[in-house]
Amino acid sequence: MKSIEAKTMADRPVTEAALDTAIRRGQARHKGSFQVTTVSYVEPCLAVSFVDGSGLLLPVQHYPEFDGFEVEDFADLKVGFSGTAICHEGKDLHVSIAGMISASKPLMDMAASVIASRNGRQSSAAKAEAARANGRKGGRPRKPEITE
């Protein structure tokens, strides 16, 4: 049997410096992820608001997790798991907001378009050098015309 030694000791006392480091790491991780702040029911949709003030309307009919929910049940929905899930304690329901968004084809198409646009603006060293070389030659080479 292979023996593996633990890398950290659980019985080591927590110092103020270690606690401050852990808090800073948690805050940095929290800023880098999306975070929902509120969820409310605006019939027939769930209104989800993000930390920057933007929001989405997600039609509940597209999500079988909400089948059998009454209007009163929607009032008891809360944001949980550090702003990444919608929770209902009475029904023991925890639904990933990212999962709900990814289930919507139009939202995923829009996200893909935004990401492609953003990535297309990025320039690598090779792209920059090719642009300079083409500029020295008078611009991008023209494609040869095909005559038939």
Pairwise CA distance, residues 38 & 24, whole Å: 24
Say if pTM beats, i.e. exceeds, 0.85. no
Q: Is the pLDDT of residue 8 over 80?
A: no
Cα–Cα nearest to 97, from 41, 26, 39, 43: 39
CA distance 35 to 79: 10
Architecture of domain 32-103: 2-Layer Sandwich (3.30)
pLDDT of 86 over the 90 cut: yes
Percent of the chain with pLDDT over 70: 92
Residue 9: predicted pLDDT: 65
User: How open is the CA angle 59-62-65, to the nearest 5 degrees?
Assistant: 105
Residue 48 in tokens: 């989800």
Structure-token match 């930390």, residue found: 51
In the chain, what are the domain boundaries? 32-103, 105-135
pLDDT greater at residue 70 or residue 127:
70
What is the edge-to-edge ordering of all strands in the sheet holding 45-50? 36-42, 45-50, 55-59
Alpha carbons 44 and 29: distance in angstroms, whole number: 33
Please tell me the predicted confidence (pLDDT) of residue 133.
87
Tell me whether residue 148 is exposed, middle or buried, using C-beta atoms within 10 angstroms of its C-beta: 0 to 12, 13 to 18, 19 or more: exposed
pLDDT over 90, % of the chain: 39
